[in-house]
Amino acid sequence: MIVWRLICLAAMVSAWVGASADAAFAGKDTAVSASGLPIPRYVSLKSDHVNVRAGPTKDNDVAWVYTRSGLPVEVTAEFENWRRVRDSEGAEGWVYHSLLSGRRTAVVTMKTKDELASIYDSPDPKSAVAARLQAGVVAQVKRCAQGWCRVIGNGFDGWIEQQRLWGVYADEKVD
């Protein structure tokens, strides 16, 4: 009888520990992340060679490699020093935290591939058009407020409607 109780107790403890590890691994239902930062949040890639793994350890296979520094990604979970990220195309994987930067960038998104996004001199669609960008262009986000973001990049500096960017949340203020 005592042996049976010990076996049951061991099974319950094992199930509880497993459930706790799964919750931590998935990053769900936790008010505080491993870093103390909010989840989800946008960050960017620090390096032009970032391994994305199937799980949050170096023992996991490299699923693919990002080759563009500054690309925005969304952190969707944390496990110790690993961050699960999602890119603008919806691909997800695990990246070591030191390969990510808090520098804010965004990708220009449009309804159709051939459509161009206007960059304005001021946060007003009646102001002069400073540039037109194709979908997929990556810009550094300098600030966002009231539905507009000031972005800079190679050959452009101006304001774009916030809804045209993947890398900032709707109505998010960025300073």
Confidence bin at 29 (pLDDT 50/70/90): very low
For residue 27, the model assigns a pLDDT of 40
- To the nearest whole number, what is the mean pLDDT of the chain? 86
Q: Would residue 140 count as lying in a domain?
A: yes
Looking at the structure, do residues 72 and 90 belong to the same domain, yes or no? yes
CA distance 167 to 87: 9
User: Do 65 and 94 sit in the same domain of this protein?
Assistant: yes
- Whether 174 is covered by a domain: the verdict is no
Is the overall model pTM greater than 0.75, yes or no? yes
Does position 88 have pLDDT exceeding 80, yes or no?
yes
pLDDT for position 31? 43
Domain-located, residue 91: yes
Domain holding 95, by residue range, is 31-103
Query: Same domain for 146 and 120?
Result: yes
